[in-house]
Amino acid sequence: MLTYPGNSQELNCRVNVNADRVQTTERNIFSEMEVVFAQFMTENKWTDKAYQPFERINCMINISIENMPSIGVFTASVQIQSSRPVYDTNYETILLNFADRDWQFQYTESMRLDFVENTFTTNLASMLSFYAYVILGLDYNSFNKLGGTEYFSKALNIANLAQGSGMPGWQPFESNRNRYWLIENLTSTEMLGIREGYYTYHRLGIDNFTVNPEEARVSILGVLKELETVKDLYTNSILVISFFDAKSDEITQIYSEGNIQVRREAYNILTKIDPTKTEKYKIIVQN
């Protein structure tokens, strides 16, 4: 069982709860949610690694509560973000920017959240711990090739256990953009190139950008080509969609300067695999 030991752990998590749509006079529970959910993410020990306070992973969970069908039961849409610092800069790059529209959970005043590994306790604990491991996996992946495998496996185990609960977001047939498909993509051998690409993008690309921007752009172009290959095979891959939800602004800035041939090649790939952001990407070839 994971408990709240009260010292620095792996995550530095902020939680915001917007409950403007909910009609209730008991509004203190929403500010309590912010504190309790953040404590669950921040004070639990998710790995066997020793973290210094400055090494903690910055992340944010924005919860928009849509309905309270009964006392203590909530449905919500949630945005989960995480980031990590870029070498030798003050800049943080976004690793995860995922919209989860399938949150349904129970919470009552002073409720304690516990995560018991290999056991489904509550849907709320499962959802939060699932994203804790996804965040960790992406962070480790960005520093070491396939370094997040252990944590993606833990998130997959949580998803498998939660499937029997009947709660939304865990089933393959409900949507192609839910938790099931996120972790399916992150653990699929067919998506291995994208996971390796997270390392290339961050360590060989953006971490190298201030030293050798042209080399960094070429490295990142290789990642875009791998994403193109996956998108051709799996049109609705949530991992590809999630990648560009996190990276589109950054990629646009990366290719707004530099070798025009590399920029044009990047633009052609981007507009093919992420066509909804074509207007944004036009700046890449405009100067």
- Strand order of the sheet with strand 57-70? 11-18, 57-70, 73-85, 92-106
Q: Are residues 183 and 197 in the same domain?
A: no
Q: Are residues 146 and 252 in the same domain?
A: no
Mean pLDDT of the chain: 95
| 45-72 pLDDT, tens digit each | 999 998 999 899 999 999 999 999 999 9
Domain that holds residue 271: 190-287
Band (259; pLDDT cuts 50, 70, 90): very high
| pLDDT value of position 8 | 61
Q: Are residues 234 and 150 in the same domain?
A: no
Mean pLDDT within 178-184: 98
Count of structural domains within the chain: 2
Q: Are residues 95 and 179 in the same domain?
A: yes
Answering whether pTM is above 0.85, one says: yes
Band (93; pLDDT cuts 50, 70, 90): very high
Taking residue 239's Cβ as centre, other Cβ atoms within 10 Å add up to: 21
Q: Residue 86: CB partners within 8 Å, gap ≥ 6?
A: 92, 93, 202, 206, 207, 209
Q: 287 pLDDT exceeds 80?
A: no
| pLDDT value of position 177 | 92
